[in-house]
Amino acid sequence: MRLRWLVLPLVLVGIAALVLWSVPADEFIFTPDRAKPLAEKVRVEGADPADGGGVYYVDVYVRRATYLEQLLPFTRPDGSTVVPKHALLPPGTSDEERQRQNTLDMQRSELVASAVALRTLGYDVRATPRGAIVIGVASDAPAAGKVEGGDVIVAVDGRPVRTPDELRREIGRRRPGESVRLTVQRDGKRLELAVDTIPSPEEPDRPIVGIQVDQRADIDLPLDVDIDLGRVGGPSAGLPFALEIARMLGRDVTHDCDVAATGELAIDGSVLSVGGLKQKTIGALRAGVDLFLVPAGENTDEARKHAAGLPVIPVESYQQALRALATVPVKC
């Protein structure tokens, strides 16, 4: 009888642990994935790949944390980070919508990377401006909860805008604290959004709404480029895509090194910050690459915290990345 009373609590604890382990919580968890080469993922018309070295992309596994992982940190996978729900899912956004947006971001990343790489190589790349596409919304900004990533802003207060510069100019007609009316295209629909402005931290007299934008354009490529990463989504592989396209067309971008890279590319070649740098750096280490290119600024600081001797090279543009690889003092 005494043994039964001892066993019963253990069974109940085991059942509770199993439930906590299997039931997803509201928070998400980021875990590292080993960096992978792009050599078999990118196809370019007329390819003649340069010999030596390779370009690697880094990815992060993203899933719902379990309640057990939420409560007991030691149950989480090595190198993981728990991320609040609101950081990935704005209010009113579902997991399915997030996945759909990731797919669209990947498609755009592939096209922009192709345009940047081919234009840098001297090819005639035609881009017709169609508005300013939203690629980031600050969580504490007036635009949060109204403007969404992937929205294309085509007018401000009824005045058409075709470029990010025109968008900034039209918002700048207001005074900080006043509201603006943004006309956006979302999922094939045209929406009118009233958004307040706040002073820019850098220029207090300039109004902002708290979004990051890039050029939305119809891009006509002179060569066929096909990139297939399977179920991987998001925009953060733009920089390695562009490097691999150049390598496929015969340019020696790696200089006999295995190079991992991360960073979203804007159509002007700028490298934009991305998330998950802790996990991506661990993934680069696990793959044994020689170098890791990351966006300059906070991304670089985060990567260096976990680099364990792996050279981390900060870059602000695709062109700077090419120059850095040509001059980096590392023998591979």
Give yes or no: residues 117 and 130 share one domain: no
- Domain boundary pick from 155, 183, 218: 218
Into how many domains does the chain fold? 2
Residues 6+ apart with CB under 8 A from 84: 27, 28
Q: Which two tokens stand for residue 307?
A: 């680099």
Query: Can you tell me the mean pLDDT for 249-268?
Result: 93
DSSP type of residue 270: B
Backbone angles phi, psi at 178, to 5 degrees: -80, 160
Q: Which CATH number do you get for residue 36? A: 3.30.230
Query: Residue 21 — very low, low, confident or very high, per pLDDT cuts 50/70/90?
Result: very low
Structure confidence by residue, pLDDT tens digits, 54-112? 999 999 988 888 777 777 778 788 898 888 877 776 666 677 777 777 788 888 889 99
Same domain, 75 and 40: yes
Within-domain flag for 22: no
- Same domain for 263 and 169: no
Q: How many CA atoms lie within 13 A of 211 on its CB side?
A: 27
Q: 80 and 198 share a domain?
A: no
For residues 300 and 184, membership in a common domain is answered with: no
Structure tokens at 186: 């979302």
Residue 8, in any domain of the structure? no
Rounded distance, CA 180 to CA 177, Å?
Answer: 10
In a domain, 189, yes or no: yes
Instruction: Tell me: do 116 and 232 sit in the same domain.
Output: yes
Domain membership flag for residue 25: no
Indicate whether 106 and 240 sit together in one domain: yes
pTM: 0.82
Given 218, 251, 269, the domain boundary residue is 218
DSSP string, 72-92: -GGGSPTT-EEE-HHHHS-TT
Q: Note the pLDDT tens digit of each residue in 123-142.
A: 999 988 889 999 888 888 89
**Closest to 223 measured CA to CA, from 126, 128, 106:** 126
Q: Determine, yes or no, domain membership for 73.
A: yes
- Contact between 303 and 277 under an 8 Å Cβ cutoff? The reply is yes
Indicate whether 88 and 153 sit together in one domain. no
- 15 domain residue, yes or no: no
Assign residue 153 the CATH number of its domain. Answer: 2.30.42.10
- Domain-embedded: residue 107: yes
Domain that holds residue 117: 32-124+222-327
Is 277 inside any structural domain?
yes
Other Cβ atoms within 10 Å of 143 Cβ, number? 23
117 and 138: one domain? Answer: no
Q: Are residues 55 and 204 in the same domain?
A: no
Give the lowest-confidence range in 11-15, 100-104, 146-150: 11-15
93 and 231 assigned to the same domain: yes
What is the reported pLDDT for 125?
Answer: 94
Domain boundary among 157, 185, 218: 218
Which of 129-143, 151-165, 241-255, 260-274 shows the lowest mean pLDDT across its residues? 129-143
Q: Within 10 Å of residue 39's Cβ, how many Cβ atoms?
A: 13
DSSP string, 289-329: -SEEEEETTHHHHHHHHS-TT--EEEESBHHHHHHHHHH-S
Q: Are 65 and 24 in contact (CB under 8 A)?
A: yes
Are 214 and 152 in the same domain? Answer: yes
